[in-house]
Amino acid sequence: MFFRKRTFIENRFLKVMIVYDERTKAVAGDAFLKLLDQTNVQYETCKMQADHQGDVIADEKVLGQLLIEASIDVEAFVAIGAGTIHDVTRFVSYKMKTPFISIPTAPSVDWFNSMGAPIVQNGVKVTFQTQAPIAVFADIDVLMSAPKSMVAAGFGDVLGKVTSLFDWQFGYIVKGEPFCPVVFEATEQALISCVENVDFIAEGQEKGIKVLMEALILSGLAMLLFGKSHPASGAEHHLSHYWEMEFLKEGRKQLLHGAKVGAATIVIASLYKKYLNYSFTGDGIIASENEAKIKKLLQGLIEPTKLQDLINRVGGKTTPADLGISQRIVDNSLQEAHLLRERYTLLYYNNVYKKETL
Ligand SMILES: [Zn+2]
């Protein structure tokens, strides 16, 4: 088993709160509790309540559940699950000034080890900067038992770095947004390793799942080092957040974060490639000496057809329509998603200064 009893003993945690849901309790939670029973560490458990559609949403209700169920003398939280369990645990543990430990049960998102907690507040998704876990224990056997759709989602979240890294450089060149070459290279390395090992990931082989999880951790670490989400989140994530909020408004069952990001990356890359034939010179926004730099970045963007092929190979969905997202929502998101975050992306530029359409 992945968990070392020493970790608690070394840190002298005498009382911990274990957070999971129905599924993650079965895949890792029960085994973890058995290990804890062999120590003198006391524990409480909180099984997150799913909504009527079977989703656990990181909203006021679920946050309230954990706050109510956690005793004031809990010394550490343990998140056993995927993204949402981590969001809730990260937020509540931070508010209680208590550390938390991460045990991912699927290689599905890249923020297990970051500080950002995306929370749904009054139906709107807001990312709060809270705290990173003090440790992450990712067990390969648990990860390999994750549903294929969650593996595909993790791959989609990594593939989103194609456009997020483009947007980060674009914002840096055009608006002087903060930039760090070391963080850029780490995130790019996460992307490259997944693209190179796509077939191992698609087959669910140990090698592939390990590469994917390491890429997700590396991307999360890059965000943690940088202190902001620029490396890992550009216009493709803004589209994904927009779609998610539309689904919440409509009361529809949620889609996996990475599944949306993967399809959104293809949409954004297709839009951005149109700028290869566009002259930025003379728009009064982009200095003429920067035109060549931007064109070079655009040429380096992976072709949308290649992105489709990669997502197809891992069994993911390549279009919003395949995910059940209507053309109306897609069109609206392309017009409005740039307003969700203060980030100078090419989508932002497109909507404010130039109106390319798909
Ligand atoms: Zn993401």
**Does residue 93 lie within any of the structural domains?**
yes
CB neighbours (10 Å) of residue 277? 9
Domain final position from 110, 128, 144: 144
How close is the Cα of 340 to the center of ligand 1, in Å? 15
Domain final position from 127, 144, 161: 144
- For range 147-176, the mean pLDDT: 97
**Total number of domains in the chain:** 2
Closest CA relative to residue 77, chosen from 32, 121, 142: 32
Domain final position from 144, 176, 203: 144
How close is the Cα of 288 to the center of ligand 1, in Å? 33
How far is the C-alpha of 50 from the C-alpha of 52, rounded, in Å? 7
| 282-334 pLDDT tens trace | 777 888 889 899 999 999 999 999 999 999 999 999 999 999 999 999 999 99
CA diameter of the chain: 70
- Does the pLDDT of residue 242 top 90, yes or no? yes
pLDDT of the residue at 1: 38
339 — pLDDT class (breaks 50, 70, 90): confident
| 104-143 pLDDT tens trace | 999 999 999 989 899 999 888 888 999 999 999 999 999 9
Same domain? 136 vs 195: no
Closest CA relative to residue 18, chosen from 74, 62, 59: 74
Range scoring the smallest mean pLDDT among 164-178, 209-223, 300-314, 329-343:
329-343
Same domain? 43 vs 90: yes
- Does the pLDDT of residue 355 top 80, yes or no? no
How close is the Cα of 39 to the center of ligand 1, in Å? 36
pTM of the model: 0.92
Tokens at residue 356, please? 């390319």
How far is the C-alpha of 14 from the C-alpha of 76, rounded, in Å? 9
**Does residue 170 lie within any of the structural domains?**
yes
Instruction: Give whole-number Cα distances, 8 to 11, 35, 42, 114, 135, in Å.
Output: 5, 11, 11, 21, 11
**Does residue 357 lie within any of the structural domains?**
no
How close is the Cα of 294 to the center of ligand 1, in Å? 24
**Does residue 241 lie within any of the structural domains?**
yes
H or E element at residue 300 = helix 288-300
pLDDT of the residue at 300: 95
Tokens at residue 102, please? 């991460």
**Residue 102 · residue 216 · CB < 8 Å:** no
How close is the Cα of 56 to the center of ligand 1, in Å? 18
Same domain? 134 vs 155: no
How close is the Cα of 239 to the center of ligand 1, in Å? 11
Contacts of 207 by beta carbon, 8 Å cutoff, 6+ apart: 197, 200
Contacts of 145 by beta carbon, 8 Å cutoff, 6+ apart: 27
How close is the Cα of 259 to the center of ligand 1, in Å? 10
Same domain? 190 vs 124: no
How close is the Cα of 177 to the center of ligand 1, in Å? 20
Contacts of 285 by beta carbon, 8 Å cutoff, 6+ apart: 174, 349, 353
Average pLDDT of the chain is: 92
- Does the pLDDT of residue 228 top 60, yes or no? yes
How close is the Cα of 250 to the center of ligand 1, in Å? 22
- Does the pLDDT of residue 62 top 90, yes or no? yes
CA atoms within 13 A on the CB side of 232: 32
How close is the Cα of 157 to the center of ligand 1, in Å? 5
**Does residue 324 lie within any of the structural domains?**
yes
How close is the Cα of 241 to the center of ligand 1, in Å? 9
Q: Dump the DSSP string for 151-191.
A: HHHHHHHHHTHHHHHHHHHHHHHHH-----HHHHHHHHHHH
- Does the pLDDT of residue 6 top 60, yes or no? no
- Which residues span the domain enclosing 69? 5-144
Same domain? 261 vs 342: yes
How close is the Cα of 217 to the center of ligand 1, in Å? 12
| 255-270 pLDDT tens trace | 999 999 999 999 999 9
358 — pLDDT class (breaks 50, 70, 90): low
The pocket of ion ligand 1, defined by CB under 5 A, consists of 157
**Residue 356 · residue 274 · CB < 8 Å:** yes
